[in-house]
């Protein structure tokens, strides 16, 4: 057990060191839609969620959190993104006793129809196209001890913009440790680890006269997946009677940007009503987030959690997120 944990921790830390850079290599990774946070509870806390993920939605943050699904859990999330972009996430997890927890998950990013323009027809050709990028995968997690869990997820990733696209794969891996001290949890994950990709087809480079004059198309360069190393810690600073206040901090080290630090807090009353807030330090735009949720019992011992989150993206429009989690 100790050897397994040590190996995982060293691998996670080594990956973080490899990604360390002194500048922001923005625009060097594909599949950017994978970096959009899924779930209103998580994003309402400023995306400081690596150590708190504990339902089917954990596949989007730290797959080790799936190990805490007791029976079955269905998670759905909707993001209203700028520029008439919307994103839907879905995950279904099932706990198979003495084996572990398996989960199917998918994400789909969709846009409205966009008009096709060219150099000769800058006002439009009369035709249009839409974008539908997605990922589909399978995850597995289990408890190694009563306090330590691990998880892994594999997924197929697809992107296509008009006539150019690719299909590839990526892997997520995570660990979660419950210390038993005031609800303190430590979580680590590597998300979207996969091979470099190259878009299909070719293009005319209008910044290169030779490419334009002799009509010589160029092939697309290769790009990496948006690999993220995440480390999170959470702590209950208040837990008495019917009230609980949980705080969380995440450090995110992406391979296509500078380090980002997320702070979050969640207040719960009777484990039924929730208020949340968070802030993302070093975020490109905005950073302040708010959220609320309600958890209610259903027939047959099932429970439903409905959550909402709001984020201010600065010069971009406000963002609204909704999610639903069903335990049954």
pLDDT exceeding 90 applies to what percent of the chain?
Answer: 67
The stretch 47-51 carries a mean pLDDT of 97
User: C-alpha angle with apex 192: 312 to 251, nearest 5 degrees?
Assistant: 50
Reported as a single tens digit per residue, the pLDDT across 145-182 is 999 999 999 999 999 988 889 999 999 999 999 999 99
- Residue written as tokens 């009230």? 243
- CATH number of the domain where residue 217 is located: 2.40.160.60
User: C-alpha angle with apex 249: 246 to 250, nearest 5 degrees?
Assistant: 135
Element (H, E) at 41: helix 40-44
Cβ-in-10-Å burial (0-12, 13-18, 19+) of 114 comes to middle
Beta partners for 172?
A: 153
Reported as a single tens digit per residue, the pLDDT across 200-256 is 988 888 888 877 777 788 888 999 999 999 999 999 999 998 999 999 999 999 998
Query: Is beta strand 132-143 parallel, antiparallel or unpaired with respect to 148-161?
Result: antiparallel
Q: Does the pLDDT of residue 51 top 80, yes or no?
A: yes
The stretch 19-37 carries a mean pLDDT of 75
How many independent structural domains does the chain possess?
A: 1
Check: CB of residue 311 under 8 Å from CB of residue 322.
no
Contact residues for 267 (Cβ-Cβ < 8 A; gap 6+): 243, 244, 245, 246, 274, 275, 276
Query: Is beta strand 185-193 parallel, antiparallel or unpaired with respect to 288-297?
Result: unpaired
Check: CB of residue 126 under 8 Å from CB of residue 120.
no
Check: CB of residue 229 under 8 Å from CB of residue 195.
no
Residue-range definition of the domain harbouring residue 209: 2-327
pLDDT, position 150: 98
Check: CB of residue 256 under 8 Å from CB of residue 29.
yes
User: CB neighbours (10 Å) of residue 255?
Assistant: 20
Q: What are the Cα distances from residue 117, in Å, to 123, 127, 308?
A: 6, 9, 37
């Amino acid at each position: 057990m100790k050897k397994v944990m040590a190996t995982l921790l060293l691998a996670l830390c080594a990956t973080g060191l490899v990604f360390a850079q002194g500048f922001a290599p923005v625009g060097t990774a594909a599949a950017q839609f994978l970096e959009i946070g899924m779930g209103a509870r998580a994003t309402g806390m400023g995306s400081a969620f690596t150590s708190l993920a504990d339902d089917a939605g954990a596949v989007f943050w730290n797959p080790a959190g799936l190990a805490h699904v007791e029976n079955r859990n269905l998670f759905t999330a909707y993001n209203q993104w700028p520029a008439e972009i919307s994103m839907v996430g879905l995950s279904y997890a099932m706990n198979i006793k003495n084996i572990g927890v398996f989960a199917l998950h998918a994400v789909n990013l969709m846009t409205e129809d966009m008009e096709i323009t060219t150099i000769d027809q800058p006002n439009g050709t009369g035709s249009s196209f839409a974008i539908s990028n997605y990922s589909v995968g399978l995850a597995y997690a289990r408890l190694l001890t009563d306090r330590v869990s691990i998880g892994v997820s594999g997924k197929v990733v697809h992107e296509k913009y008009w006539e150019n696209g690719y299909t590839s794969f990526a892997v997520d891996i995570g660990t979660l440790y419950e210390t038993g001290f005031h609800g303190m949890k430590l979580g680590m994950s590597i998300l979207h680890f996969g091979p470099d990709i190259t878009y299909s087809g070719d293009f005319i480079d209008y910044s290169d006269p030779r490419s334009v004059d002799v009509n010589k198309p160029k092939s697309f360069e290769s790009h990496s997946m948006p690999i993220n190393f995440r480390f999170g810690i959470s702590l209950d600073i208040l837990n008495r009677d019917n009230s609980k206040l949980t705080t969380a901090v995440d450090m995110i080290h992406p391979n296509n940007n500078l380090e980002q630090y997320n702070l979050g807090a969640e207040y719960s009353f009777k484990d039924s009503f929730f208020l949340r807030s968070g802030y993302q330090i070093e975020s490109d735009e905005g950073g302040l987030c708010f959220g609320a949720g309600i958890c209610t019992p259903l027939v047959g011992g099932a429970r439903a959690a409905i959550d909402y989150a709001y984020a201010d993206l600065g010069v971009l429009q406000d963002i609204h997120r909704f999610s639903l989690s069903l335990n049954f």
